[in-house]
Amino acid sequence: MQFFITGAAGFTGFATAQYLLQQGHTVIGLCRNDTQAKRLQATGIQPVLGTLETLAETTIPHVDVVLHCAALLGKWAPYAEYEKVNVQGTKAAIEKAMAIGAQRFLHISTDMVLLNDADICNATEETPLGNASYAYAKSKREAEVLLQSYHSQIEIVILRPRMIWGNTQNPLYKSMQQAAETGRFLWLNKGRVQTSVTHVLNLAAAIELAAQHPAAAGQVYHVADKQPHTLYDFWQQQLATQQLRLPDTSIPGWMARLMADCIEPVWKCFGIKKAPPITRMAAVSFSRSCTLNTQKIACELGYADIISFEEGLRQMKHH
């Protein structure tokens, strides 16, 4: 099959592209600059220079599947910036998919579309969308709603991974690595909340299934590794592969959420560009459990993990 991937130079897009190439597929990747283009080309990806904003004018050959990985995440920015990338960018991507005659559009969403200020336990695809107002969660939720209006025009599959991991180039890992190196970190609720996690290669395998399987058209699927973990164990074991460790200091989750509720409005009121010491989304994400039920993708598409947690850690240690 022929794939066009937005965000091909990012952590998820690049790893998925490499997996798809190994499976014999052709991959074209959208990237922002010549440096990224050279990196993609060196690994067998056909680079196309452009952005989501310029996608309508960018020349892209016909492909079978458009995989939309590009997204704004982890940046302290107003909602308008998130909406521009995550909602309008999704619109640009699916419009381009239809313009070049792609049969299927795969959208990488997130568990955050379910987010409320409460634990999420064994959530299925039937679990209602949340109402969190955090910029990332809200924008990804609105992107899913936007896609509903295109179902009669192109085959759409939405995948919702949770806490993607897999190597030290992961932006979230890098932030935790910095916290471990500086010692500036506080656990919430001692890190004992339960979380589903998704190895990037397991996500890539799910993407290939979602691209090929006839039953996937029009569906939403949760994608996660077989076993959930506590946040504490998940991060400490990853960091241990690089001889690092986070401090054990912890505060109650309710306290962190209260602090974030007080701090964020002040930052926004004064237009402070630097991120606050804790955001509301981070406070909720690190103090509330979130586990996903993956029976639907297993039963309908035959999905199963292709890499275990232990093997993922071994690969991190040796690369």
Please classify residue 299 by burial: count the beta carbons closer than 10 Å to its beta carbon, then call 0-12 exposed, 13-18 middle and 19+ buried.
exposed
Strand intervals (E) in the chain: 2-6, 26-31, 46-49, 65-68, 104-108, 120-123, 155-161, 164-165, 187-188, 194-195, 198-199, 220-223, 229-230, 250-251, 290-292
Structure tokens at 25: 């597929």
The answer as to whether 172 is a domain residue is no
What confidence tier does 28 reach under pLDDT thresholds 50, 70, 90? very high
- The answer to whether 55 touches 28, Cβ cutoff 8 Å, is no
The count of domains in the chain is 1
Structure tokens at 293: 């039920």
The answer as to whether 152 is a domain residue is yes
Supply the pTM of this predicted model: 0.96
- The answer to whether 140 touches 113, Cβ cutoff 8 Å, is yes
Domain hosting residue 99, numbered range: 2-164+197-226+293-307
The answer as to whether 184 is a domain residue is no
User: What is the pLDDT averaged over residues 249-257?
Assistant: 97
Q: Which residues are within 8 A (CB) of 218 and not within 5 positions of it... i.e. 6 or more apart?
A: 151, 155, 156, 157
Q: SS3 of 108, please?
A: strand
pLDDT at 304 over 90: yes
What confidence tier does 87 reach under pLDDT thresholds 50, 70, 90? very high
The answer as to whether 124 is a domain residue is yes
Percent of the chain's residues with pLDDT above 70:
100
Report the distance separating Cα 200 and Cα 140, nearest Å: 19
Q: Give the strand pairing for 104-108 and 65-68.
A: parallel
CATH assignment of the domain containing 65: 3.40.50.720
Give the tens place of pLDDT for each residue, 190-243: 999 999 999 999 999 999 999 999 999 999 999 999 999 999 999 999 999 999
Report the distance separating Cα 318 and Cα 308, nearest Å: 16
Q: Which residues of 101-124 are buried (b: 16+ CB within 10 A; e: fewer)?
A: ebebbbbbbbbbbbbeeeebeebe
| Residue position matching structure tokens 């973990």 | 229
Residue from 61, 73, 76 nearest 12 by CA: 73
- Mean pLDDT, the chain, integer: 97
The answer as to whether 171 is a domain residue is no
The answer as to whether 314 is a domain residue is no
Q: How many CB atoms lie within 10 A of CB 231?
A: 23
Residue from 200, 227, 229, 215 nearest 108 by CA: 200
Report the distance separating Cα 142 and Cα 209, nearest Å: 25
What confidence tier does 319 reach under pLDDT thresholds 50, 70, 90? confident
- Identity of the residue numbered 175: S
Report the distance separating Cα 113 and Cα 219, nearest Å: 16
The answer as to whether 24 is a domain residue is yes
pLDDT at 117 over 90: no
pLDDT at 6 over 90: yes
| Residue position matching structure tokens 């912890």 | 250
Q: What is the pLDDT of residue 181?
A: 96
The answer as to whether 214 is a domain residue is yes
pLDDT at 115 over 90: yes
